[in-house]
């Protein structure tokens, strides 16, 4: 397997973990323990602390994405250098979509940094929550990046029915349904 392919697989893994992470975050924001579906779960699984898993998966996504990016220049065929990773302005492969990935990484980092207890307390709940909502946009940028980027970096047209793209589209659909569900929950609770 080539380094470019490994990077693509890491990107897909990151997208799945990010999708799960955001779904957990949405559940936590709805006081999921009071939902009827949660009460149907056996008691031995209800002791599960979702907040811890949510935190760990956010770190996992960040490190998987970093690995996804860092290994790209190791393959000369990728056309990426460490300079284009730090600042993708000189990137020649689908620059707009590389910027989407770059923007999602910066937004993810912002959400992780502001979620650290001392920073979150200093910001106050309202400001922290508004910053944390960036994760919704981050996930959409990340999924669009994953769908439109050519996995072999040959600038080919997007094949929307390719298995990898369909998988990313499914992650995007799950996120959109989760966002809609969260919106409906919020409206119903007001």
Band of pLDDT at residue 29, cut at 50, 70 and 90 = confident
State yes or no: pLDDT of 168 exceeds 80: yes
Q: What is the mean pLDDT of residues 156-178?
A: 93
DSSP 89: G
Q: Following DSSP, what letter does each residue of 3-55 receive, concatenated?
A: HHHHHHHHHHHHHHHHHHHHHHHHHHHTTGGGSHHHHTS-HHHHT--HHHHHH
Segments forming the whole domain that contains residue 65: 3-189
Q: What is the mean pLDDT of residues 99-120?
A: 92
- Which alpha helices (H) appear in 71-162, and where do they start and end? 82-86, 95-114, 117-123, 125-132, 134-148
What is the model's pLDDT at position 95?
Answer: 83
CATH number at residue 17: 1.20.120
State yes or no: pLDDT of 8 exceeds 80: yes
Q: What is the pLDDT of residues 115-130, one digit of tens each?
A: 999 999 999 999 998 8
Distance of alpha carbon 16 from its chain centroid, rounded? Answer: 8
More confident site: 38 or 165: 165
Number of domains in the chain: 1
pTM of the model: 0.89
State yes or no: pLDDT of 80 exceeds 90: no
């Amino acid at each position: 397997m080539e380094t470019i392919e490994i990077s693509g697989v890491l990107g897909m893994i990151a997208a799945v973990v990010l999708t799960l992470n955001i779904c957990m975050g949405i559940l936590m924001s709805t006081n999921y323990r009071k939902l009827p579906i949660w009460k149907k779960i056996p008691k031995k699984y209800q002791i599960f602390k979702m907040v811890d898993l949510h935190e760990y998966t956010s770190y996992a996504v960040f490190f998987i994405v970093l690995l996804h990016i860092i290994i790209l220049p190791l393959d000369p065929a990728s056309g990426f250098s460490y300079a284009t990773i730090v600042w993708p302005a000189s990137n020649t492969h689908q620059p707009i979509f590389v910027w989407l990935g770059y923007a999602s990484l910066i937004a993810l980092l912002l959400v992780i940094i502001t979620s650290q207890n001392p920073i979150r307390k200093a910001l106050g709940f309202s400001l922290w929550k508004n910053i944390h909502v960036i994760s919704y946009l981050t996930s959409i940028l990340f999924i669009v990046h994953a769908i439109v980027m050519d996995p072999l970096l040959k600038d080919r047209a997007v094949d929307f029915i390719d298995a990898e793209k369909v998988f990313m589209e499914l992650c995007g659909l799950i996120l959109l349904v989760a966002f809609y569900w969260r919106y409906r929950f919020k409206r119903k609770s007001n």
